[in-house]
Chains A and B, each alone.
Chain A
Amino acid sequence: MDFRDAPEEAAFRDRLRTWLAGRAGTFPKSGDEYWSRSAQWHRDLYGAGFFGLSWPTKYGGHDLPAVYDVILDEELARAGAPARPSLGYLVEGLGRHGSEEFRQRFLPGMITGDERWCQGFSEPGAGSDLASLTTTATLEGDEWVFHGHKVWTSYSDVADWCLLLARTDATVRRHKGISAFVVNMHQAGIEQRPLQMINGVSNEFGQVLFDGARAPADHLIGEAGEGWALAMTVVGHEREPSTLGFSARYGKLVRAMAAQVEGPPPAELLWAAVETEMLRLHVRRRLSERLDEVVHGPAGSLDKLLMTWTEQSVGHAALAVGGTRDPELLSAYLYSRAQSVMGGTSQIQKNIIATRILGLEA
């Protein structure tokens, strides 16, 4: 057992640290700056060889063990840099369920950041109960035609592509009739309606209305009716702090707050520091377990809860340090409330833990 870097890991960390040091002072200082520069950040990180670390080289990744992502997250937090772009769950979804041709076509652009993506799963009537979704896809000639209403779609306003779940068969029950598609966001038949979050930002998510939007027949991923399996892969990975790389965000904020307080730090900040350190170590443990080929399962729900508690403790620290008068810290606090909703609510995670891990019958 060793929590230290192996020599290759240490060399990687050094290179990364040097690169980040060279960019000190250039990192976004406000939420607005962060949003306006996030695409560039993705491309810069990729261009310098620090993104897509654990993904296959043939799609533009580096084929490194997953622990390199931990090193990346730790160093980003240390340098006060933005977190790594969080799209691992989409890469996993396409990587596992798309054909080779599909992967060749779409994964490289996703990984380099040249093509941006959004995830069209949730609907006004289908949130936790995703299998009740009603958006339809019908084959007309050699094209699929989509009708329906998606909501809470993150980054839909900047996305080039949407990973869309739609119903292809209304005659079979619930999840059996669901299929997954790749849909071009730049077309008539798609209408975007921005949504403003409680912290005031309108870049986070939006509503997307599909009224006759189209995709070529071969933009169906896998077979018709196989969309649910893909959806489960995506939401499973969306629960993993190691896939998301959010721990860098928490570490960065805790550090910034620690530098800002004078006198004895508030208890909330101390507790947030403890939670953040716990999560950092927890991610290391989980990624080490992958070396044993531990299969991806309901344990992701435990990780999602731990991540949520960490983010919300950091949010409470932000409130304790900045009160309601520091706009950036207040915004961090308000944003933290979404963590127990996005990617499956905390209640849904607890349902999964109780039934699938503890064996309590529902």
Chain B
Amino acid sequence: MDVRLTPEQRQLRAAAARLADDLGPGSVLDLADDDRVARLEKAVAATGWRSLRSDGASGVEVALVVEEFARGLVDVPFAGPVLADDLRRPADDRRDPAGAGAGEAQPWTIAVDGEAFDARGLRDVVSAEGNQLLSGRVGEPVTAIDLTRVRATVLGPREPVGELSPEAAGRWPALAVVVTAADALGAARGAHALAVDYAKVRSQYGHPIGSYQAIAHLLAESLALIEGSVSVLRHAAWAVDELSVAEARAAARIAKVYVQRAARTICETAVQVHGGIGNTWECLAHVHLRRVLTSTELFPVRLEEIDLGFS
């Protein structure tokens, strides 16, 4: 038993973090900066990480990149294309480096409940209906609370583009749940970092607000929630490829239920620590919160779905 990240995984995480820090939005105004978005898109495309799965990467690596991108509010498609790439890998060899998504000019994204998710600038969607993979086209954007990821209608005709083995059809939801949990955790970590920084610079009554226990303790609790989330998510991300379908799904459910509750609390704390500013559109805290709420609702898991017969 050794659950440390490998050196390669740490490097991948660091590279993803750097990219997000360099080109992610540093303010709400930045969200509308098309030049920045174009540079970010180019940089993300150049990494090739959207086809991590067909390149043979594990759920752990996917979750690490998703988490870092969400932390930095990366606002070009990633989770959607990664999941689409996983679906479109050749069924006969699920770890074949020359997979379907690799080398394509345009990544696909996924459709969930009849809506294209993470669709900014993309043309094609894939969705899994039972064992069937169906294609479609990205239509008009629909209003969405998430300011960093685009949702759109799906246009037909929806054509069969492949079939999942029962094993793959069962396992895929584990990855989808892990990815959305990783996204929520990353977005919450970003909100926490923002709030800790603010607590050091904002002064009231002649002292930084972070010197008041009422504030400091909220931020300390958030950090503990982050640590617990990292631990439970790492196991679920590993389980995607390493455990049986039933165990992988159970691990993913536990992780998501824990992380989604933690992530919302952490973001709410970040809003509170910012005071009045935290309740304005201009403060990034709500952008993080919105992303957390969106990722919570995608591939949702309710507490009632937890199986008490866990390992």
Once bound together, how far apart are the Cα atoms of A211 and B162, in whole Å?
Answer: 83
Is there a chain A Cβ closer than 8 Å to B254's Cβ?
yes
Once bound together, how far apart are the Cα atoms of A284 and B211, in whole Å?
Answer: 33
Q: Is the CB of B210 within 8 A of A360?
A: yes
What is the size category of the interface that chain A forms with chain B?
35 or more
Q: Is the CB of A306 within 8 A of B220?
A: no
Q: Is the CB of A360 within 8 A of B228?
A: no
Q: Is the CB of A347 within 8 A of B217?
A: yes
Q: Which of A2, A264, A269, A350 contacts B2 (CB 8 A)?
A: A2
Q: Is the CB of A360 within 8 A of B211?
A: yes
Specify which chain A residues have a CB less than 8 angstroms from the CB of B91 in the assembled complex.
none
Q: Is the CB of B1 within 8 A of A5?
A: yes
Q: Is the CB of A306 within 8 A of B232?
A: no
- Residues in B254-311 with C-beta less than 8 Å from chain A: 254, 257-258, 303-304, 306, 308-311
Specify which chain A residues have a CB less than 8 angstroms from the CB of B311 in the assembled complex.
277
Report which residue of B200, B216, B304 has the largest number of chain A beta carbons within 10 angstroms of its beta carbon. B216
Report which residue of A277, A292, A309, A347 has the largest number of chain B beta carbons within 10 angstroms of its beta carbon. A277
Is there a chain A Cβ closer than 8 Å to B132's Cβ?
no
In whole Å, how far is A67's beta carbon from the nearest beta carbon of chain B?
Answer: 5
How many positions in chain B have a CB within 8 Å of any CB in the partner chain?
Answer: 43
Once bound together, how far apart are the Cα atoms of A347 and B215, in whole Å?
Answer: 12
Q: Is the CB of A277 within 8 A of B232?
A: yes
Interface segment, one of A84-92, A172-180, A351-359: A351-359
Once bound together, how far apart are the Cα atoms of A303 and B224, in whole Å?
Answer: 7
Once bound together, how far apart are the Cα atoms of A4 and B2, in whole Å?
Answer: 8
**Contact mask B193-211 → A, CB, 8 Å, 1/0?**
0001001100000001011
Q: Which of B3, B199, B213, B304 contacts A1 (CB 8 A)?
A: B3
Specify which chain A residues have a CB less than 8 angstroms from the CB of B223 in the assembled complex.
302, 353, 357-358
Once bound together, how far apart are the Cα atoms of A331 and B60, in whole Å?
Answer: 41
Once bound together, how far apart are the Cα atoms of A288 and B223, in whole Å?
Answer: 20
Specify which chain A residues have a CB less than 8 angstroms from the CB of B1 in the assembled complex.
2-6, 9, 67, 70-71, 284, 288
In whole Å, how far is A295's beta carbon from the nearest beta carbon of chain B?
Answer: 16
- Residues in B217-256 with C-beta less than 8 Å from chain A: 217, 219-221, 223-224, 227-228, 230-232, 234-235, 238-239, 242, 254
Is there a chain B Cβ closer than 8 Å to A27's Cβ?
no
Closest chain A residue to B211 by CB distance?
A361
Specify which chain A residues have a CB less than 8 angstroms from the CB of B213 in the assembled complex.
347, 350-351, 354
Q: Is the CB of A353 within 8 A of B306?
A: no
Q: Is the CB of A358 within 8 A of B220?
A: yes
Per DSSP, chain B at the interface is helix
Evaluate whether A289 and B216 lie within 8 angstroms (CB atoms) in the complex, with A277-B232, A278-B228 already known.
no
In whole Å, how far is B202's beta carbon from the nearest beta carbon of chain A?
Answer: 12
Specify which chain A residues have a CB less than 8 angstroms from the CB of B220 in the assembled complex.
305, 349-351, 353-354, 357-358
Evaluate whether A258 and B303 lie within 8 angstroms (CB atoms) in the complex, with A274-B257, A278-B231, A306-B227 already known.
no
Q: Is the CB of B228 within 8 A of A306?
A: yes
Specify which chain A residues have a CB less than 8 angstroms from the CB of B306 in the assembled complex.
270, 273-274
Q: Is the CB of A1 within 8 A of B224?
A: no
Is there a chain A Cβ closer than 8 Å to B143's Cβ?
no
Q: Is the CB of B310 within 8 A of A277?
A: yes
Is there a chain B Cβ closer than 8 Å to A48's Cβ?
no
Once bound together, how far apart are the Cα atoms of A259 and B190, in whole Å?
Answer: 40
**Contact mask A273-291 → B, CB, 8 Å, 1/0?**
1110111011011001101
In whole Å, how far is B59's beta carbon from the nearest beta carbon of chain A?
Answer: 11
In whole Å, how far is A8's beta carbon from the nearest beta carbon of chain B?
Answer: 11
Specify which chain A residues have a CB less than 8 angstroms from the CB of B9 in the assembled complex.
1
In whole Å, how far is A322's beta carbon from the nearest beta carbon of chain B?
Answer: 16
Specify which chain A residues have a CB less than 8 angstroms from the CB of B234 in the assembled complex.
1, 281, 285
Q: Is the CB of B3 within 8 A of A360?
A: no
Q: Is the CB of B210 within 8 A of A305?
A: no
Closest chain B residue to A306 by CB distance?
B228
Once bound together, how far apart are the Cα atoms of A347 and B216, in whole Å?
Answer: 10
In whole Å, how far is B228's beta carbon from the nearest beta carbon of chain A?
Answer: 5
Closest chain A residue to B307 by CB distance?
A273
Evaluate whether A359 and B200 lie within 8 angstroms (CB atoms) in the complex, with A1-B238, A278-B258, A285-B3 already known.
yes
Q: Is the CB of A353 within 8 A of B224?
A: yes
- Residues in A1-58 with C-beta less than 8 Å from chain B: 1-6, 9
In whole Å, how far is A176's beta carbon from the nearest beta carbon of chain B?
Answer: 26
In whole Å, how far is A244's beta carbon from the nearest beta carbon of chain B?
Answer: 17
In whole Å, how far is B218's beta carbon from the nearest beta carbon of chain A?
Answer: 9
Once bound together, how far apart are the Cα atoms of A284 and B309, in whole Å?
Answer: 20
- Residues in A210-240 with C-beta less than 8 Å from chain B: none
Is there a chain A Cβ closer than 8 Å to B142's Cβ?
no
Q: Which of A3, A67, A264, A284 contacts B304 (CB 8 A)?
A: A264
Is there a chain A Cβ closer than 8 Å to B98's Cβ?
no
Specify which chain A residues have a CB less than 8 angstroms from the CB of B6 in the assembled complex.
1
Evaluate whether A360 and B219 lie within 8 angstroms (CB atoms) in the complex, with A270-B306, A271-B303, A354-B210 already known.
yes
Specify which chain B residues have a CB less than 8 angstroms from the CB of A277 in the assembled complex.
232, 254, 310-311
Q: For the complex of A and B, list the 8 residue pairs with the smallest distance between their C-beta atoms, beginning with the closest.
A: A354-B216, A360-B210, A282-B231, A353-B220, A350-B220, A258-B308, A350-B217, A305-B224
Interface residues of B (CB under 8 A from A): 1-6, 9, 60, 196, 199-200, 208, 210-211, 213, 215-217, 219-221, 223-224, 227-228, 230-232, 234-235, 238-239, 242, 254, 257-258, 303-304, 306, 308-311
A-B contact pairs, 16 of them (CB 8 A): A2-B242, A3-B1, A71-B1, A258-B309, A267-B304, A269-B308, A273-B310, A274-B258, A277-B310, A278-B254, A282-B227, A284-B3, A285-B234, A351-B220, A358-B196, A358-B210
Contacts A2-B242, A284-B231 given; 13 further ones with Cβ under 8 A?
A1-B2, A1-B234, A3-B242, A277-B310, A282-B232, A284-B3, A291-B2, A305-B220, A349-B220, A357-B223, A358-B223, A361-B210, A362-B216
